[in-house]
Amino acid sequence: MTDPFSIFEAWYSEARTSEINDYNAMAVATVAADGQPSVRMVLLKGHDERGFVFYTNYESRKALEIFATGRAALLFHWKSLRRQVRIEGPVQRVSDVEGDAYFATRSRDSQLGAWASDQSRPLDSRATFEARYEAVRARFEGIEVPRPPHWSGFRVQPVRLEFWQDRAHRLHERRLFTRCAEGWSEALLYP
């Protein structure tokens, strides 16, 4: 049996060199309490055997849906490699130490934007957001921008990883890894 994290790392490394833009872009799917699904693109900011990490406003739609269900699904699609990786599992918050460390690596403008944005909420005009941004910029002028208490990361802890490889005539290869007591079980799926 092969370790799915080793396969992911190999594919991710190839994507890093072959994808023109945002090799770390992934779709995050969540579901609302009424069963309505929602999907959006985010950037992978870390991964290891514990899971796959992205950062967001904890008051955003995706975060509220994650808090409500405790689950999410991810999808990487590397068109240039003709590959996809699907990941499903429970979600947990990253530690404050991890959140602070990542926030410190963001550009100052992105840090200020995290304070200025009420992500996913209605906005009456772009001017309102720009005025909020300018107010936040003035507030933190000359000092480090701390991570907002409503902004940090999530770690999707995979219980299923599927590796999809394009093949001629739509005879694709699909390898599914499912977490089990012994680690991972592996199976093939029909294309």
Domain contains 24: yes
Q: Is 83 one of the annotated active-site residues of the chain?
A: no
Domain contains 64: yes
Domain contains 60: yes
Q: Write the CATH number for 27.
A: 2.30.110.10
User: CA 2, 70, 78 angle in degrees (round to 5)?
Assistant: 45
Domain contains 153: yes
SS3 at position 153: strand
Q: Which of 40, 50, 106, 170 is catalytic?
A: 170
Q: Which domain holds residue 90?
A: 4-99+149-189
Domain contains 167: yes
Domain contains 111: no
Count how many domains the chain has. 1
Whole-model pTM over 0.85? yes
Q: What is the pLDDT of residues 59-75, one digit of tens each?
A: 999 999 999 999 999 99
Model confidence at 120, pLDDT cuts 50, 70, 90, reads: confident
Q: What is the pLDDT of residues 25-61, one digit of tens each?
A: 999 999 998 999 999 999 999 999 999 999 999 999 9
Domain contains 140: no
CB environment 84-110: b (16+ within 10 A), e (fewer): bbbbbbebeebeeebbeebbeebeeee
DSSP labels, 1-13: ---HHHHHHHHHH
User: What is the DSSP code (8-state) at residue 111?
Assistant: H
Closest CA to 133 of 110, 154, 153: 110
Domain contains 141: no
